[in-house]
């Protein structure tokens, strides 16, 4: 089964699953259990909601890193295997408008990257690999049956 994730979506599946997405400043996190051959991917757009008070009355929304993490963790917890047995890989956070970015100013991609790294540390998930930052978009393909993640990151032409 092949799943395409749009921004704000996540999916968790078994060994018969391939998950794809395209990232700009967004970040995707893959989680994979090498013995159970189960895993998932999120595609978040922003570090957190801007409401300052969390989301106690609201449904979790995968557009925000912290909530996307909660959604993936609920899937992991439902499987029952310890968190530390999962491998995490992080992708994305590209600068989509490098000519408009002020020197030394963090981009949205930078903020998403920092948040993703913080979240996996908070949940005690080991990061097996990452392909983060830089300029432009990435195409991501995650084969749950093998844990392999394929990345296509075209070079941007300098202007």
In the chain, domain spans: 2-152
> What's the confidence (pLDDT) of residue 105?
84
Average pLDDT estimate for 143-151 = 97
Segment 4-16 mean pLDDT: 97
Structure token digits, residue 82 = 């310890």
Q: What is the rounded average pLDDT of the residues 84-92?
A: 96
The pTM of this model reads: 0.91
Q: How many CB atoms lie within 10 A of CB 29?
A: 25
Percent of the chain's residues with pLDDT above 90: 82
Q: What is the mean pLDDT of residues 23-43?
A: 97
Other residues' Cβ atoms within 10 Å of the Cβ of residue 51:
8
Residue 19 tokens read as 């998950």
Q: Are 153 and 136 in contact (CB under 8 A)?
A: yes
The greatest distance separating any two alpha carbons of the chain, rounded to the nearest whole angstrom, comes to 51
Burial of 8: CB neighbours in 10 Å, binned 0-12, 13-18, 19+: middle
Model confidence band, residue 50 (pLDDT cutoffs 50, 70, 90): confident
Query: 22 near 7, Cβ under 8 Å?
Result: no
Q: How far apart are CA 28 and CA 60, in angstroms?
A: 17
pLDDT at 51 over 70: no
- pLDDT tens digits, one per residue of 92-127: 999 988 777 777 788 999 999 999 999 999 999 999
- Here the tokens at position 37 are 């051959």
CATH 3.30.1330.200 given to domain 2-152 = yes
């Amino acid at each position: 089964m092949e799943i395409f994730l749009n921004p704000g979506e996540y999916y968790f599946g078994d060994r018969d699953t391939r998950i794809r997405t395209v990232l700009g400043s967004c970040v995707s996190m893959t989680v994979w259990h090498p013995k159970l051959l189960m895993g998932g991917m999120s595609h978040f757009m922003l570090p957190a909601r801007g409401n300052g008070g969390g989301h106690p009355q609201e449904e979790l929304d995968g557009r925000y890193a912290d909530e996307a993490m909660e959604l993936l963790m609920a899937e992991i917890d439902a499987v029952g295997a310890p968190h530390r047995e999962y491998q995490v890989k992080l992708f994305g956070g590209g600068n989509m408008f490098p000519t408009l970015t002020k020197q030394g100013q963090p981009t949205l991609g930078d903020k998403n990257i920092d948040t993703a790294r913080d979240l996996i540390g908070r949940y005690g998930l080991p990061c097996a690999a990452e392909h983060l930052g830089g300029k432009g978009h990435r195409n991501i393909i995650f084969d749950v049956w093998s844990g392999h993640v394929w990345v296509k990151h075209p070079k941007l032409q300098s202007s």
